[in-house]
Structure 1
Amino acid sequence: MDDNKNQSWHRPIWDDNGQFYYELISQPKENNHLAICLVPPEKVIPVIFIPGVMGSNLKNQQSEVWQFSASSLKKWTLASPDKRKFLLDPKTTTVDDRGAILNDSVDGKKFPSRRDRGWGSAFYKSYGEALDRLQYLLNDDEILMDNYFREAQLQTARQRFTGVRIGDEPAEQVLTEVETAHSHRFLYPLHFFGYNWLQSNADSAMLLGAYISKVLGDYHGRLAVNKVILITHSMGGLVARHYSENMNGQENILGMVHGVMPDLGSPAAYRRMKTGERGVTGMIIGDSAEKLMPVLAQSSGPLQLLPGSAYGPGWLKIEGNGPRQSLPVDDPYEEIYLNKTAWWRLCEQDLLLGNTNSEWEAFVYRIKKPVKEFIEKLDGKYHPQTWLFYGASADNKSDAFLTWKEKIPLRVKEAQRVWKDAGKHLELSPLRTHELISAGTPGDGTVPVSAIRTSSPRIHGVLATNVDHEGAYAVAPVDRSRSVYSDLSDALVFTVRSVVKIVQQVPAP
């Protein structure tokens, strides 16, 4: 920094229209004063985050339905199956954008407020801190400006990532200084697309198209390119891909970064229907088939996470007294999802509540039309600029396949023997004598490695890392000793780097 007293350095000040100006104090001409105005990046490339299932706040006409708040979540632990089905109805719920936001005003007037950018519709427990950190990492150019006013020069996050290799990834995924410098010529306002995850992902994709148009309109005159970058989590990746590849949305998207996307579907979706969800999430959303099946059976979005034909055969195994079965042999829809008689079928008609005949008919239609058509039509389709990371740790035991294993208590077996000696037969329900066992294969705890397709000419970068499914975008690394940075997860670093790589398509302003 020059100590010349005839010089003054001035930061830009942003007005309500996203334009910048300077506040200068007039000096006498004879002073020969030089005012140096620092010019910030001003061209915008919007980034939109698309969450996964359960990642958007929901409400109905009465009140909150799904939001990370004491009043919202407290109602679920003791809610009856009927109440769950009533509240989590895709026909009566809408997105709720009134949720908590971390550091709402920190971006100043450079962009619309974080609430105006949709952050209030994010399920705070899953995304609150992650969105805040992502926005900072994508707009760390303030550090470059601050360097003019201090002796010690600091690096931006993107400069820290330059030349750094994560694990044994290919050299072409590593950032170069030229790529980093180019990325600093743009601004990246982070938006959040909240959607009703109970409805069909095809419907959400249509709404995503409208949202992208709105975002691009918000930055009219400021855009570096008339396109957005999408960052997705889990099911959000399916929504984004459907819009891009099946709804002619590709021309509006510069590139996509997917995190833990269940590309081929996951057997975990079957497990949820049959046994409920596990852990703390299960205590809220439903930890048994009686609680969760009525909700999922009426909701196309979660059903579209089931393994499609591309997942392959044999992911559901049945072991007992008879011959061992591996299903599906060919068609998961007919053999498992629409099966009405086998005890291991996906849906129990008796648990659907209400008029079970009409509910079953609605379920059958849902599987045949929105579910099957969505899954099969999306198979193998990606945006030309696709980057993705996924969980590949043996510590996060996942369901590459599931096994119904016969487990009959000794006292029941003894009763069977007594009845048999008496010439009688003791009939047992297979659902009461079989336990659904997870394979315990590597993954993220929900999506197994076998559900990830990493080979395609359109996939430019891939990272296999240690993340759990819900916390895929967590700020801190799972294992600090194995991460590139002790303060940032490898997944977050990969995401920001991927955005930088995608931006190389845009000419410098």
Structure 2
Amino acid sequence: MPPKKVIPIIFIPGIMGSNLRMTADRQALLKKKNNIAWRVDSTSENAHFMALNAADRQKQLDPDKTSVDTFDSGHSETGNPKETTFERNKAVNLSSIDMWHVSNAPLVLLLPDPPGVTPRKTHQHRALERGWGEVLYDSYGELLQLMEKQLNDAFCELNEPSIWWKKNVLDISPQSWGAAPENQLKPIRADELKSALTECWFPVHAMGYNWLQSNRASGSATANRIRALIKKYADAKFDCRKVILITHSMGGLVARAAMHSSIGKIEDLVLGAVHSVMPALGAAITYKRMRCGFEGGPANIPKRVLGYDGHEVTAVLSNSPGGLELLPTKNYGNSWLKIVFDNTTLLSLPQKNNPITEIYKIQNKWYQLFNPEWINPAKLQNSQISRTFEYIDLAEKFHKTISNYYHKNSYAIYGSDKERLTWGEVVWQFDQDVSSLNSENFAVSSDSENGKIKFEPINVLHIPKFNFHNISILSPSAHLVPPKEQGDETVPIRSANNQDKFCKAIFRQKGYEHQDSLKYQSSVSATFYSIIRIIQEMNWSKT
């Protein structure tokens, strides 16, 4: 029997970290055997997605035709009557949680029903009811299982902390996981752990969201789910008053929206939040991907799935309010988009801290973010650059709303690694000296959509003061410069460290790539440390 006091742990994933399904009419239009819009854990769906052209990508990942692929034990949501709900969620594997000397004992509060109970729920069934099948299990499954195990079964038979706690958290200086010295964090003692976890249950839930839609909408939807979850526990006669939020990447924006007083309005229901690798001010890599596709070589599978060329990525993100909210905000700073030759900067934008008017909405410039021909390859109604500009305006309003808002009991964990270089700036490098020319108005001859642009030939003999004596025709080209800023290969330090001003404690870490950050010992230890410190803030005597 679990204790009567309950503090649910709610995990909110990053962009592309929630599984999505499509409406029946969109499934019919695409002639799919199932209604899976996005499920990156599925090998077959990955293979299907890699074969899609830009038009079908746009149709399949349409924010108006998709929703979170939630678990419903009563029927299959696949649109394929031959596939069961459990087959759809087969990526959720609870067979082992052997991680950093964790025993393979079952997750104590996800046990199956006793024999004879009809219908009998398995441990996997209970995990799926908690939303574990809604999220990218390959990236997040280990953490979900680890939190469920170690927060609810932290002590051995002799009432001693488990080996995992001793090895990874207890009596260890937080500075070993990158804790900022100015926070002066103290190690957690065994008696503090026992006091925090005694007489309380910490069921771990995952809440996906439609990452194609605005984070404002996702925040409101998540807030409603959290209210319903607290009521569910209360109706079952548990003392459930608050939850703890654990977020990854864009999930941090969703969580802040959920708690904000003008959006989700649940700050009083949240005990605290732990944000991992959040792009607090956006990330310049969003511009890079929309112009040049995802990172990696031609054989790179993630690149083939997520978008090999600029037009494949643009077909999805230009029609996605949520995706556009990852572009650098006004607070990101000036001069993150540059055009250079050697060490000479020919153009640097933005200059007035307004990327919306200086970069995102400019047209008829070769470095513009949006190519109108890439936005609507599917020729869907209302999908054009004017609507994309409306989404940009909404993104600006969203970021202005949550700009300085964090829960007072927030902790932040992020990559600050000089070996994990990130596009803090996007730099276009010319191969020839064009400093005497009006280079920003060059006409494009060809664009590889992977970071190489060739321009129409220029007759320099008719250009006064051009310092070329033996050349009459100039054929310039430009290429994307590799990333140079420390970070986690996705979020640069200039965006992540904005949290330093608002969070109770900061962990600046090394050694991991953005998507897999929650698989690394330093990040996980910092997460558990933060959870315990948040739990210590709970006042059960307060009504």
Which residue of structure 2 aligns with residue 27 of structure 1?
none
Q: Residue 48 of structure 1 contacts residue 192 of structure 1 at CA under 8 Å; is this kept in 2?
A: yes
Q: Closer, same or farther in 2 for the Cα pair 1:204/1:378, shift >3 Å?
A: same
Unaligned runs of 5+ in 2: 28-34, 71-87, 96-105, 114-122, 434-453, 463-467
Output the CA distance in 1 between the equivalents of 2:241 and 2:209: 23
* Other structure's SS at 2:526 match: helix
Q: Percent identity among equivalent residues?
A: 30
Deviant stretches of 4+, over 4 Å: 109-112, 221-225, 320-323, 355-358, 415-428, 454-458
1:282, distance to aligned residue in structure 2 (A): 1.6
1:235, distance to aligned residue in structure 2 (A): 0.2
Moved more, 400-409 or 385-394: 400-409
Moved more, 269-278 or 219-228: 219-228
Superposition map of 1:35-434 within 5 A: 41-60=3-22, 61=24, 62=27, 63-67=35-39, 68-97=41-70, 98-99=88-89, 100-103=91-94, 106=107, 107-108=110-111, 113-141=126-154, 143-144=155-156, 146-147=157-158, 155=162, 157-160=164-167, 161-165=169-173, 166-167=175-176, 169=179, 170=181, 171-185=184-198, 186-220=200-234, 223-245=238-260, 246-247=262-263, 248-279=265-296, 280-320=301-341, 324-330=346-352, 331-352=354-375, 353=377, 354=379, 359-368=384-393, 370-407=394-431, 433-434=477-478
Higher Rg of the two aligned structures:
1
- Over the residues paired in the alignment, what is the CA RMSD in angstroms? 3.1
| Aligned length, in residue pairs | 446
1:425, distance to aligned residue in structure 2 (A): 7.5
* Other structure's SS at 1:191 match: strand
Q: Closer, same or farther in 2 for the Cα pair 1:358/1:389, shift >3 Å?
A: closer
1:358, distance to aligned residue in structure 2 (A): 5.6
Deviation per residue, 1:282-304 (Å, 9 max, x gap): 21011111211111100011110
Unaligned runs of 5+ in 1: 1-19, 21-39, 478-488
1:278, distance to aligned residue in structure 2 (A): 1.2
Which residue of structure 1 aligns with residue 77 of structure 2?
none
1:109, distance to aligned residue in structure 2 (A): 6.1
Q: Residue 281 of structure 2 contacts residue 498 of structure 2 at CA under 8 Å; is this kept in 1?
A: no
Which residue of structure 1 aligns with residue 84 of structure 2?
none
Which residue of structure 1 aligns with residue 504 of structure 2?
460
Output the CA distance in 1 between the equivalents of 2:68 and 2:385: 27
1:320, distance to aligned residue in structure 2 (A): 4.4
Output the CA distance in 2 between the equivalents of 1:242 and 1:129: 26
Name the TM-score, length of structure 2 as normaliser.
0.76
Q: Closer, same or farther in 2 for the Cα pair 1:378/1:452, shift >3 Å?
A: same
Output the CA distance in 2 between the equivalents of 1:506 and 1:47: 14
* Other structure's SS at 2:421 match: strand
Name the TM-score, length of structure 1 as normaliser.
0.80
Output the CA distance in 1 between the equivalents of 2:237 and 2:484: 49
Output the CA distance in 2 between the equivalents of 1:491 and 1:188: 20
Q: Residue 421 of structure 2 contacts residue 485 of structure 2 at CA under 8 Å; is this kept in 1?
A: yes
1:43, distance to aligned residue in structure 2 (A): 1.7
2:242 partner letter? K
Q: Residue 43 of structure 1 contacts residue 222 of structure 1 at CA under 8 Å; is this kept in 2?
A: no
1:371 partner letter? A
Deviation per residue, 1:37-95 (Å, 9 max, x gap): xxx74421101000000001112133212111122111122211111111111111111
